[in-house]
Structure 1
Amino acid sequence: MIICETDRLYLREWTPDDWLRFRPLATDPRVLRYIGDGKPWDDERIQRRITGLIELSAQRGWIIWPVIHRADSELIGFCGFGDGFLPEVEIGWRLRPEYWGQGLATEAARAVLEYGFQRWNFPRIISVAQPANAASIRVMEKLGLEFDRRFDHKGIEVVCYAKSNPFPPTAVRQDWR
């Protein structure tokens, strides 16, 4: 099932065999440079993650979804929502390096941000990155998120950007999904 679409991308539900296409996002040191401890995941951990995302999607509906590039039908990354900073919902993204620098992270995140505000009526969405992750911070700023605060997360300094829902409650579309 397609979650949302852009001119160059679409986001869909996970399938069990997506773990193989997810592998580059969980093993490439360039991708993991600013992610947690930066250590690559093994295949078992990747498979557990995909299984967990499928289950979580069935339970609550909003997760991180695979980003598919229309031009080559490749799974090039993911984008979506996480709950690591509840009560606030976090938007995050990750792309394979060969797709960096093309505006694709911004394109996917913009569609997901609107989806979160309109479909799920999130009052505010945050995004968190290490201060040295200039590319992700640029995406946040392009999305209209504004600097909110700095804090320590699991021993790592991070910056938090945020955006409030610009859609009035009466404009929320309940017919999505």
Structure 2
Amino acid sequence: MLEPIVFETERLQAATLDRAQPGLGLEIRTLFTDKVSRYLPPDCSQLETQDDVAQWLDSRLSIGTIVRLSSTDQVAGYLFVFPEEAAQYRIGYVIAESYWGKGLATEAMQGLINHLAGSNKTTRFIAGIDPVNAASQKVLEKLGFGYDHTQAEIDYYVLETSQ
């Protein structure tokens, strides 16, 4: 498993999700509106009860890490980090609807990439998006990701960093 992830960007604070955070279930259910979850995996749009959230968290945390993004002490979104082989990660994000259109997805993902790349000579990042999600495609392209392949109706983009 990954070490705790903590970093700051110009407008965001990022820290590994604390599962014991008071009100976390409500925070997650509130953030994942129909608009927010429309391009995400189906289980992200079915977070209606505390049990739904617990199962969703269990499934994500069994294979990776969730990083909570906050801005002025309010949740702004989450980053997802799934380590694969050495210095390779599948990453993703979800931004609260009230923060859309402000460049926070790009800022948060750049912070995550910088954090994870650290002192590794080469780090490979993989991100998958729904092909009709033009906003996420734009975020990935701004970050330097290039289209790699399509599998199971998901477009995969890759970025390799070198120190």
- Asked if these proteins are the same fold (TM beyond 0.5), I'd say yes
Deviations along 1:119-169, one digit per CA (max 9) or x if unpaired, are 6777311110011001111110111111111111xxxx11111011322xx
Unaligned runs of 5+ in 2: none
Q: Taking structure 1 as reference, are residues 159 and 4 closer, same or farther at Cα in structure 2, changes over 3 Å only? A: same
1:62-101 superposed matches below 5 A: 63-69=65-71, 72-82=72-82, 86-87=84-85, 89-101=89-101
Unaligned runs of 5+ in 1: 168-177
Which residue of structure 2 lines up, in the alignment, with residue 24 of structure 1? 30
TM-score w.r.t. the length of structure 2 is 0.81
Which residue of structure 1 lines up, in the alignment, with residue 39 of structure 2? 34
What is the aligned-residue identity percentage?
25
TM-score w.r.t. the length of structure 1 is 0.75
Q: 2:14 aligns with which of 11, 15, 39?
A: 11
1:41-52 superposed matches below 5 A: 41-42=47-48, 43-50=50-57
Q: Taking structure 1 as reference, are residues 120 and 68 closer, same or farther at Cα in structure 2, changes over 3 Å only? A: farther
Cα distance in 2, alignment partners of residues 110 and 77 from structure 1: 14
1:83-122 superposed matches below 5 A: 86-87=84-85, 89-118=89-118
User: Does the CA contact (< 8 Å) of 1:3 and 1:11 recur in 2?
Assistant: yes
User: Does the CA contact (< 8 Å) of 1:79 and 1:94 recur in 2?
Assistant: yes
Cα distance in 2, alignment partners of residues 52 and 128 from structure 1: 18
Aligned length: 153
Deviations along 1:86-137, one digit per CA (max 9) or x if unpaired, are 4552110001111000000110000001111116777311110011001111
